[in-house]
Structure formats: C-alpha cells, structure tokens
Amino acid sequence: MTDKETKCVIVADENLPAGLLANTTAILGISLGRSVPECVGEDVHDASGKVHTGIITVPVPILKGNSTKIRDLREKLFSDDFAELTVVDFSDVAQSCTVYSDYIEKAGNTIEEEHTYLGVVIYGDKKKVNKLTGNLPLLR
C-alpha cells in the first residue's frame, strides 16, 4: 500500500483535560510506530548536515469524539470489514497505571465493557479509515 492509499487518524475524547489529551495522543502515536514500523520514514539530513530522525510518512489528523463514540468506533474496527486496519486503543485502565506490569494485571482483571476509551489510532486503507471517521470533526 502506498502513502497515497494509506491514512492514519487519532480519535481522542474531546472532554479530556489538555494534559491527558496530549498524553493519550502521544502514547497512541508511539504504540502505532511499534505496531507498524514501516509507517516511519527514514532519517533526513538537512542542508547543514544535521540528522532529523524519521517521522510518520502520512499526515495524522486528530479527530474529536467522546468515550461513547470511541467505544462504538472500536467495536466496528473489530468486524470483518475492517480487520486489516491497524488499531491501537488507550483506556482509563492503562492510564491509571504507572508500571506496565500493573497494567497487564489490571487489564487481565477488567472486562472489556469496563474500559473507558480515551482514544484510538487507526492506520491502513484510506477508504476504510474514511468510511469509519469521515464524519468526525478535527480536534481544535
């Protein structure tokens, strides 16, 4: 899939305080880079010869939703129609833990319906991503 056929969006809960919103989108971006390393471009050299570490090769609009919208979107993402898209979610279960092993334990003891989703990143076929998120406004 070429960059022209690929899209990446982050949908974040517009009701989050600014710091938590920034944290959520940062975590989603970092996690996407781990899940889809080919979405990160090569390092770039500027005219001075300084190196700038590669960044994602497609734009990443941040769209706004709320926890209900994000949950509904997440459920659709796990249907057969959208199975090939890469999805990373971030919930209150993860956000409440400062040590990853605590997150593993807490998530293992929390049923999915009890997760409140703070954000989700979706990466893949542009038409499918647009079908899911085309009606969501930009977070401003």
Give one word for 49, left, alpha or beta, with left for phi > 0 and alpha for psi -120 to 50: left
pLDDT tens readout for residues 83-124 = 999 999 999 999 999 999 999 999 999 999 999 999 999 999
Residue 48, domain CATH: 3.40.1490.10
- Asked if residue 140 is part of any domain, the answer here is no
- Asked if residue 55 is part of any domain, the answer here is yes
Number of independent structural domains in the chain? 1
pLDDT over threshold 80, residue 65:
yes
The strand pair at 62-65 and 6-13 is best described as parallel
Interhelix angle 67-77/126-133, nearest 10 degrees: 140
The pLDDT value recorded for residue 135 is: 94
Strands (E), 1-134: 6-13, 44-45, 51-52, 62-65, 86-91, 117-125
The model's confidence at residue 1, banded by pLDDT at 50, 70 and 90, is: low
Top-confidence residue, 78 or 106 = 106
Which domain range does residue 31 map to? 3-133
pLDDT over threshold 90, residue 2:
no
The pLDDT value recorded for residue 46 is: 97
pLDDT over threshold 80, residue 3:
no
What Å distances lie between residue 134 and 64, 100, 126, CA to CA? 11, 34, 10
For residues 64 and 11, what is the distance between their CA atoms, to the nearest angstrom?
A: 6
For residues 34 and 15, what is the distance between their CA atoms, to the nearest angstrom?
A: 27
For residues 18 and 29, what is the distance between their CA atoms, to the nearest angstrom?
A: 17
Top-confidence residue, 24 or 4 = 24
**What percent of the chain has a predicted confidence (pLDDT) above 90?**
96
- Does residue 8 contact residue 27 with C-beta atoms inside 8 Å? no
pTM here is 0.92
- Asked if residue 101 is part of any domain, the answer here is yes
- Asked if residue 139 is part of any domain, the answer here is no
